[in-house]
Amino acid sequence: MCGLIGYIGNRPAQPILIDCLRRLEYRGYDSCGLALLGDGIQVYKDQGKVAELQRGLSLNNERTGIGHTRWATHGRPSGINAHPHLDCAGQIALVHNGIVTNFLRLRQQLTQEGHIFSSETDTEVIVHLIEKYYRGDLAEAVATALGQIEGSYAIIALQTGPKKLVVARNESPLLIGLGDGENFAASDAAAILDYTDRVVYLEDGDIGVITDREITIANNGHEVSRQVQQVPWTQEEAQKTGYEHFMLKEIHEQPRVIQNTLRGYLSAIEPVAPEIAANGDIAQVLLLGCGTSYHAALVGKYLLEKLAKVAVRAELASEFNYHDTLLSKTWAIGITQSGETADTLMALRKAKSLGCKTLVITNVVGSSATRIADEAFYIKAGPEISVAATKSFIAQLVAFYLLALAWARIDTSSRERLMAELRLLPNKVQQLLDGQDDIAELGEYLSRYDNAFFIGRGINLPVALEGALKLKEISYIHAEGCAAGELKHGSFALLNPHTPVVAIGAQDNTYDTLLTNIKEIKTRGTPVIALAAEGDREIDKLVDHVIWIPGTTPLLSPVVNSVALQLLAYYAARKRGYPIDQPRNLAKSVTVE
């Protein structure tokens, strides 16, 4: 969940490391630091932001170094707990992402052997283990030390003496960037796009040695070759380009994202993925995701059951990993924007071990999920910097529409009508964005409250869950998503004039019942904001405020409704003055359990 960067080359490392750490700030962090290798190792680290770290630095021309942004797991945010960590002699420095699950036992053992610990972190045991096993070859010491480690890791280490970096990964993302007379190591390609777009993604068990001229990679003691890939994004795509926040920029990119995800698929629906619905030996589909991706899975469940006529289970990946389940004749589909979400990766591995065929819907070529799953569906959302997922969620929804169409058991005319509506989606979303001023006013209105409910029915119930998640994660307003029919079963006790309800309407078979639910809410004196299709004059009579949504077929309504709720949350948070792109305590890529 943190950011790693390493540099070795022909330029001063310090400004490059600082620049790369800034590129990694979007992942979320509470402290940061760097180590520079000269005659010795100089370490600079502290609690707080990269800008604060930079202000404390003096001019330094060393050309090898490592850096880190930390999201605390073991030990409070502090300068002592920030990375890099050093061995007792100050000869080895290390940065680490992941979790060492057996660190308490290792720490006790190392303490008894005379190692002195200065931090509360699990990471520090790794550098002391490397020190313990060092016999003149840093890569060998790293390999031996990691043999003692249980858990996940991506590490970059350096030592006094030879100018080189040693890297290793297990269940935590790490890549090597290839430059001209310089090389990089990073947890995320976004960190190094100003310097190179040629990368090598490391695989579990890989240990690499990086100099300014070459890289070597070994796995299980044997040298291996990993494919050089080109990152399909530019650094310009990861800039705000005039927008106040990345989140607003990414919301406005959604018409193009929808087009990019549709392009190449609508004209050739069948090759998108294996035909599940037509395959008689497939009994069910299992959808696995966390957070926003889980909400996309819930929409996907509705679509696949309705169009493909196949039984679908949608499960939280974090829960699926810890209960017994019987799976047979099942396709397991993991949904993860980064392709590195730890719980989802674990769930995909478990599904494979149970005999499932696997597919991943992801945004990142070369990510861990694409190497685990049998097949990959790339959503083509481009780099998403804001912690709150927006365009990746919409692209995930579009992916499910395409998959459902690929496996649909519907007549040709119905299929063609739905495909035609899909092609109109970018324009519908653009219409909504062009009229966002009214949503901005309602966002400012909503910002006055401390609690809110979001309700929906049918295919828009997941949209209610996602709308509540967006509001609470960036505006810090407590929000709950709820099935409209479930409010009466307990939550009505919380309704009052100070707890607004956002009701998501759609012109489908749930519409009349939703109107009844709204009437029940209004009798409690609760203000209601409704999302309604343009031209709907029934709902307008019942509620306090309406967000008018460009009309589309009810099956596609989650897309435009979700965009409206993203804007609502954004403007509520903006009015409250909170750090929208980097909300407190959250990280973009959740690479720990």
The structure tokens 């005319």 sit at: 413
Same domain? 337 vs 374: yes
The structure tokens 């956002």 sit at: 502
Share of the chain above pLDDT 90, in %: 61
Flag whether 590 is in a domain: no
How far apart (Å, rounded) are the C-alpha atoms in residues 225 and 62? Answer: 30
Flag whether 125 is in a domain: yes
Same domain? 256 vs 208: no
Same domain? 22 vs 82: yes
Secondary structure, 3-state, 317-386: HHHHCCCCCCCCCEEEEEEECCCCCHHHHHHHHHHHHCCCEEEEEECCCCCHHHHHCCEEEECCCCCCCC
Same domain? 495 vs 457: yes
Flag whether 586 is in a domain: no
Same domain? 284 vs 418: yes
Find, among 442, 402, 454, the residue nearest to 425 by Cα: 402
Flag whether 565 is in a domain: yes
What is the predicted pLDDT for the residue at 271?
A: 41
Mean pLDDT: which of 27-41, 415-429, 486-500 is highest?
415-429
More confident residue, 585 or 245: 245
Flag whether 588 is in a domain: no
Active site residues: 2, 588
Look at the chain and report how many structural domains it folds into: 3
What is the predicted pLDDT for the residue at 94?
A: 96
What is the predicted pLDDT for the residue at 1?
A: 56
Region 564-589: what's the mean pLDDT?
89
pTM beyond 0.85: the answer is no
Tell me which of 231, 259, 290 is where a domain ends: 231
Same domain? 220 vs 256: no
Token pair for 557:
């309504």
What is the predicted pLDDT for the residue at 276?
A: 46
End-to-end CA separation in angstroms for the chain: 10
The alpha-helical segments, DSSP class H, found in 524-585 are 557-576
Domain that holds residue 475: 435-580
Same domain? 418 vs 566: no
Looking from the CA of 248 toward its CB, the CA atoms found within 13 Å total 17
By the 8 A CB rule, do 314 and 305 touch? no
Same domain? 225 vs 91: yes
Tell me which of 189, 211, 231 is where a domain ends: 231
DSSP H or E stretch at residue 186? strand 183-186
Region 19-27: what's the mean pLDDT?
83
Same domain? 348 vs 430: yes
What is the predicted pLDDT for the residue at 270?
A: 45
Report the DSSP beta bridge partners of residue 336.
362
Question: Is the peptide bond prior to 84 cis by the omega test (within 30 degrees of 0)?
Answer: yes
CATH number of the domain encompassing residue 75: 3.60.20.10
What is the maximum alpha-carbon separation in the chain?
79
CATH number of the domain encompassing residue 545: 3.40.50.10490
Flag whether 420 is in a domain: yes
Tell me which of 231, 254, 288 is where a domain ends: 231
Same domain? 358 vs 451: no
Q: Rounded mean pLDDT of the chain?
A: 90
Is the torsion defined by CA of 116, 118, 124, 130 positive or negative?
negative
Same domain? 391 vs 453: no
The structure tokens 């607004």 sit at: 500
Flag whether 48 is in a domain: yes
How far apart (Å, rounded) are the C-alpha atoms in residues 196 and 126? Answer: 30
| pLDDT, tens digit (0-9, with 9 covering 90-100), for 202-253 | 999 999 999 999 999 999 999 999 999 988 766 666 677 788 999 999 999 9
Same domain? 295 vs 187: no
Flag whether 280 is in a domain: yes
What is the predicted pLDDT for the residue at 492?
A: 80
Quick one: DSSP state of residue 247? H
Q: Would the pLDDT of 273 be above 50?
A: no
Region 189-195: what's the mean pLDDT?
89
